Amino acid sequence: MNVVERFLNYVKFDTQSDELTNLTPSTPGQMIFAQALEKELQAMGLKDISLDENGYLMATLPGNIDKKVPTVGFIAHLDTSPDMSGRHVNPRIVEKYDGGDVILNEEDGVVLSPMQFPEMKDYVGQSLIVTDGRTLLGADDKAGVAEIITAMDYLLKHPEIKHGDIRVAFNPDEEIGLGAHKFDVERFAADWAYTMDGGAIGELEFENFNAASAKVVFKGRNVHPGYAKHKMINSIRIANQFSIMLPRWETPEHTENYEGFYHLVGFEGTVEESKLTYIIRDHDMDRFERRKKELEHLVRKVNHEYPGCATIEIKDQYYNMREKIEPVMYIIDIAKQAMLNADVTPKVQPIRGGTDGAQLSFKGLPCPNIFAGGLNFHGRYEFVPVQSMEKATDVIVEICKLVAERG
């Protein structure tokens, strides 16, 4: 199978993760997918194949070179986002995209248009794999899975290409931030790795946000509104007051590049009790810490006016991998050169989000992120250019060659 055939097969598996189950993997479909991949890797002839009870699948393509060279790894995740259904995905290929609107679902009036998604113009003349407008596609990260396995298959069929040991891994629950939590770095036994989980062609990322979550709870007091003067404390109104105390322009819809933000992702409220849920993001650790302190400061201000009303709980989620990558920047140089060898222009940029690679880097496995090719992740407008997946596969092969050559 080529990379497209694999991808179209993989998106048939319903692998949405679910943060509410407290299981690993969080949904049974991920284990079903992992078991199918395990059989495929066995049929291909990979070695040291293991699938543990938590849905972490690992395997080795043994080296075919006499000298000792580093072991490089490639990683992709099994799950798709909980943001939209990944069940009964019905993809189709738009051949030789002409630059205009693509009707995804005429019945539902769903149109993929360059008016809303101008990046589509970058792929005129290419073949695009799109959804039917009723589910996400799953290129995040089944494109990455397909690219890694296709690259291993290619190397198996071309023994004239010299390489060292190559480790591959496919893990559950990346989309709910748990992909690296039970990843056994020691068992994986690679010197470094790359997650194939980026977006558009050429992306190469070794910086990501520092991330935390915050839950702010406001206690109120409910009294009959006709007799509430000087008695009622309306927690909804206080929560709203708190939310507008944060900087208006430091939100996702007003920031880009290295700019951090506060993002209100949830609101629950009655007069008696309200809860605001935030995520806090910044690439710079000092600014990240100041953002957390600002939330705590605002809670104190609320409690000065309404004693004992507000409480806050802040939890760090992950950190910027840059500090772990900078001492081994040669792994970035190798990825850049591999892209150039594959006629891909490297686009080094920060991740405005997180990645399993960030957590793995702090667990001792330096792990930058390489493009998988998809765009508009997590929704019905997701698409992936065929040529981008093919180039990502080529980049994997080129990395393996370069590691063997450099030793």
pLDDT digits (tens, 9 = 90+) for 171-207: 999 999 899 999 999 999 999 999 999 999 999 999 9
Distant-in-sequence, close-in-space partners of 346: CB < 8 Å, separation ≥ 6: 202, 204, 335, 336, 339, 340
What is the chain's pLDDT, residue by residue, as a tens digit (407 residues)?
999 999 999 999 999 999 899 999 999 999 999 999 999 999 999 999 999 999 999 999 999 999 999 999 999 999 999 999 999 999 999 999 999 999 999 999 999 999 999 999 999 999 999 999 999 999 999 999 999 999 999 999 999 999 999 999 999 999 998 999 999 999 999 999 999 999 999 999 999 999 999 999 999 999 999 999 999 999 999 999 999 999 999 999 999 999 999 999 999 999 999 999 999 999 999 999 999 999 999 999 999 999 999 999 999 988 999 999 999 999 999 999 999 999 999 999 998 888 899 999 999 999 999 999 999 999 999 999 999 999 999 999 999 999 999 87
Please answer whether residues 360 and 105 qualify as being in contact, where contact means their C-beta atoms are separated by less than 8 angstroms.
no
Q: What are phi and psi of 242, to 5 degrees?
A: -60, -45
pLDDT at 15: 98
Distance (Å, whole) CA 173 – CA 17: 6
CA distances from 58 to 22, 51, 252, 373 (A): 23, 7, 36, 23
Q: What are phi and psi of 92, to 5 degrees?
A: -145, 160
Burial of 189 (0-12, 13-18, 19+ CB in 10 A): middle
Q: What are phi and psi of 6, to 5 degrees?
A: -60, -50
CA distances from 34 to 67, 91, 122, 242 (A): 33, 21, 34, 45
State the catalytic residues.
Answer: 79, 174
pLDDT at 81: 95
Distance (Å, whole) CA 57 – CA 71: 17
Architecture of the domain spanning 3-207+321-406: 3-Layer(aba) Sandwich (3.40)
pLDDT at 3: 98
Beta bridge partners of 198: 371
The single-letter code of the amino acid at 201 is I
Distant-in-sequence, close-in-space partners of 402: CB < 8 Å, separation ≥ 6: 334, 337, 338, 341
Beta bridge partners of 397: none
β 369-371/47-51 pair status: unpaired
> Diameter of the chain by CA atoms?
87
pLDDT at 177: 86
pLDDT at 224: 95
pLDDT at 353: 82
- What are the extents of the domains in the chain? 3-207+321-406, 210-318
Q: Which two tokens stand for residue 17?
A: 């993760």
Domain 210-318, CATH among 3.40.605.10, 3.30.70.360, 2.60.120.260, 1.10.10.10: 3.30.70.360
Do 3-207+321-406 and 210-318 agree at the fold level? no
pLDDT at 354: 80
CA angle 335, 336, 340 (to 5 degrees): 115
Q: Does the pTM of the predicted model rise above 0.75?
A: yes
pLDDT at 321: 96
Position of tokens 């990944």?
Answer: 86
Sign of CA dihedral 35, 147, 104, 201: positive
pLDDT at 407: 79
Distant-in-sequence, close-in-space partners of 305: CB < 8 Å, separation ≥ 6: none
